[in-house]
Amino acid sequence: MNMLTKRQNLLETINGGNPDRYVNQYEAFVCTDAIYGMIMGDPITAQGAFPMPGGEPAKNAWGITFAWPAGTPGAFPLHDAEHKVLKDITKWRDVVKAPETNLPAEAWAPFLPAVEAIDRNEVFATVFVAPGVFEQCHHLMGMEDCLMGFYEEPEEMHALIDYIVEYELKYAAELIKYFKPDCLFHHDDWGSSLNSFMAPDMFEEFIVPAYKKIYGFYKANGVELVVHHSDSYAANLVPHMIEMGIDIWQGCISSNNVPELIKKYGGQISFMGDIDNSLIDEENWTQESVSAEVQNSVKRCGKHYYIPCITQGGPGSVYPGVYEAITEELNRLNKEY
């Protein structure tokens, strides 16, 4: 009997069907040899610079300066007086300028061969989009100013979010025109390890309408799956994720009680994660410690509406070999079961 393709097996998993194995982390989305294996390169995001791990800070096309210290999972913006882009939310129209999206076809040409080489029967042609709406806000002004803005200047925050959404929709239209993706992998971290950054009511007011527009646009234009990354606590936001049109929440750390979420919401949304970086992605990791966490996750979460995966927002790990060790253990379990 022929095994299901990676794409088919993922669909069986999230639809409560008959998967013939555990989905192995990002295998169904790994499409090209880009940084994360997804379609990350495009001429719109290429307009700005981005730092490499342990390298010098770099400024992106929004004017935000990022640093990526060695030994950390990703880059984060600098918000000292010299580098903060937006110091006064009421003045955002004067200083916030979105990157150009109306680029000629020849600008897209170098990125097309890798996309055209994707076997769409085997995997999803997946576009990677980051940062998200909330992250873009606090990247511009800093986390404290951003959160205070929701309370002190709600009208200005709504206006800034509308501007970011307008850019995202223009960007999405170009991605769809040239890449014709069938899956979207979208970043936006919405919480810490203990709670969401915003109460659900505030989240519903400011963030939900933005994503209903963005994710609705992608789905209306041929994108079959929306995968949203937030490696945080966000169990209190799952009903809103469903309303937004998210198919898979990637990054759900174990503090969310993933088995309970599967029991409550399985069939409406699926969950990808439960293997916490904080527990295994360390300098002195071992195959035994990684294997134990993987076994615990698949045992408590089952095979439906769940994809065992490192909670990091893309294939890889801070310490070399950890991601591959998870993959190896899942391969072993699939052979065993």
User: Which H, E and C letters describe 295-316, residue by residue?
Assistant: HHHHHHHCCCCEEEEECCCCCC
The domain tally of the chain equals: 1
d(Cα 331, Cα 291) in Å, to the nearest integer? 11
Contact 135, 188 (CB under 8 A): yes
Helix (H, G, I), strand (E, B), or coil: what is residue 231?
coil
Average pLDDT, the chain: 94
Residue 143 has pLDDT above 70, yes or no: yes
Residue 31 has pLDDT above 60, yes or no: no
Instruction: Assess if residue 1 is contained within a domain.
Output: no
Tell me the sheet residues that pair with 66: 58, 77
Among 139-148, 155-164, 312-321, the minimum mean pLDDT is found in 312-321
Residue 10 has pLDDT above 60, yes or no: yes
Residue 172 has pLDDT above 50, yes or no: yes
Of 36 and 218, the one with more pLDDT: 218
- Region 174-183: mean pLDDT is 96
Instruction: Assess if residue 313 is contained within a domain.
Output: yes
What is the pLDDT, as a whole number, of residue 35? Answer: 42
Residue 72 has pLDDT above 90, yes or no: no
- Region 36-61: mean pLDDT is 87
What is the pLDDT, as a whole number, of residue 32? Answer: 43
Q: What is the pLDDT of residues 271-280, one digit of tens each?
A: 999 999 999 9
Measuring CA to CA, how many Å separate 178 from each of 219, 222, 279? 16, 12, 40
- Region 74-98: mean pLDDT is 96
Question: How many CB atoms lie under 10 A from the CB of residue 48?
Answer: 15
What is the pLDDT, as a whole number, of residue 189? Answer: 97
Virtual CA dihedral for 27, 294, 36, 241, nearest 10 degrees?
Answer: 90
**pTM, rounded to two decimals:** 0.96
CATH number, domain containing residue 289: 3.20.20.210
84: which residues sit within 8 A by CB, 6+ positions away? 78, 141, 142
Half-sphere exposure at residue 72, Cβ-oriented, CA atoms within 13 angstroms? 13
What is the pLDDT, as a whole number, of residue 34? Answer: 42
What is the pLDDT, as a whole number, of residue 37? Answer: 55
Residue 230 has pLDDT above 60, yes or no: yes
Of 39 and 44, the one with more pLDDT: 44
Measuring CA to CA, how many Å separate 146 from each of 138, 162, 208, 280, 284? 5, 15, 17, 32, 37
Range of the domain at 149: 6-336
What is the pLDDT, as a whole number, of residue 70? Answer: 84
Q: pLDDT confidence of 84, banded at 50, 70, 90?
A: very high
- Region 134-139: mean pLDDT is 98
What is the pLDDT, as a whole number, of residue 41? Answer: 84
What percent of the chain is predicted at pLDDT more than 90? 90
Q: What is the pLDDT of residues 185-202, one digit of tens each?
A: 999 999 999 999 999 999
Instruction: Assess if residue 153 is contained within a domain.
Output: yes
What is the pLDDT, as a whole number, of residue 39? Answer: 73
Contact 211, 133 (CB under 8 A): yes
Contact 337, 295 (CB under 8 A): no
Residue 36 has pLDDT above 90, yes or no: no
Instruction: Assess if residue 53 is contained within a domain.
Output: yes
